Amino acid sequence: MPNRSPIGIFDSGLGGLTVFKEIRKILPGEDLIYFGDTARVPYGNKSKETIIKYSKEISGFLIRKGVKIIVIACNTSSSLAMDDLRREVKIPVFGVIEPGAKKAAAVSGGRTIAVIGTQATIKSTAYSRAILQEFKNRGLAFGKVIEKSCPLLVPIVEEGLGLGTGNGFGRDIAKRIVSYYLDPVKQENPYCLVLGCTHYPIIKDLIEGVVGKGMEIIDSGVEAALFIKNFLEKENMLKEGEVSGINQFFVSDDPGRFVELGGKFLNMNIENIGIISDFT
């Protein structure tokens, strides 16, 4: 029967708002609870054990809030903590890697794919393994997968340096760092580029400016939102009614900054926000 419980979404900080935005767009009636771990961002330079610990703590918090599914809107947590959460959590848990890998394999037709992400995500090889499995599932010759870690891109987004338009000092720094990471990737001439971190779509215009509009860019958050909608429809878990869903936000530190930067990205006022620093 229809399920009126909220959808829980979490990320290390602002990046998961790209997934939140896509879910809100295609599921306007669902209630959404978003948690951004702003006290401990970034996750990409932390150990697997630490990321699993953080992911379990946040999932426990969301479950206590009564969510019906958990969306790991963080590629680092998706790559390192997904299996542990699915073993321990009694509700469905979704990540962003599998949907992004499926889309990349589908559009590339076996041609070269580039993936950019945090150090932890790239080190895990989760994307290359998922993409190569999709090539196999589709009966395609194994294409080449290029993976590149871009550790400074998450701090750029969290500091708001790449937001907006124009050529201010902060935005110029962001452009230079994006070019530093992506110029070598572009030389490999990949057919498409997977944004293997949910922070990266926030600076998608800077990334397109480096790789050019001829290279298809895969946003794993968009693909994850579509996957989740299909799941909820199939399982008859969508919320009934036409009333717009409620948004709730929680962070582990500095809600003011999250409200400011997150509001700019979502183009909305973030009003219903709380701070959670103790997960017990």
Annotated catalytic, 192?
no
* Inside any domain, residue 252: yes
**CATH number assigned to the domain comprising residue 77:** 3.40.50.1860
- The domain tally of the chain equals 2
User: Helix, strand or coil for residue 89?
Assistant: coil
Number of H helices, E strands in the chain: 11, 10
Tell me the pLDDT band of 105, cut-offs 50, 70 and 90: very high
In this predicted structure, the answer to whether residue 87 has a pLDDT above a threshold of 80 is: yes
* Inside any domain, residue 19: yes
Task: Give me the catalytic one of 74, 85, 131, 207.
Answer: 74
Task: Give me the catalytic one of 19, 113, 197, 215.
Answer: 197
pLDDT value at residue 162 = 72
Percent of the chain having pLDDT more than 90? Answer: 84
The closest of 104, 102, 74, 72 to 217, measured between CA atoms, is: 104
pLDDT value at residue 168 = 74
- Beta bridge partners, 145, equal 113
- Asked if residue 234 and residue 212 are part of one domain, the reply reads no
What's the gap between Cα 52 and its chain centre?
Answer: 16
- Asked if residue 168 and residue 260 are part of one domain, the reply reads no
Among 188, 203, 220, identify where a domain stops: 220
Residues 39-55, mean pLDDT to the nearest whole number: 96
* Inside any domain, residue 39: yes
pLDDT value at residue 140 = 80
The closest of 106, 195, 109, 192 to 148, measured between CA atoms, is: 195
* Inside any domain, residue 280: no
CA distance 96 to 178: 22
What does the pLDDT look like over 126-170, one tens digit per residue? 999 999 999 999 888 777 899 999 999 999 999 888 776 555 778
pLDDT value at residue 1 = 64
Annotated catalytic, 197?
yes
Domain that holds residue 163: 97-220
- Asked if residue 154 and residue 103 are part of one domain, the reply reads yes
pTM reported for the whole predicted model: 0.93
Among 179, 195, 220, identify where a domain stops: 220
Among 220, 245, 267, identify where a domain stops: 220
In this predicted structure, the answer to whether residue 194 has a pLDDT above a threshold of 70 is: yes
CA distance 21 to 267: 10
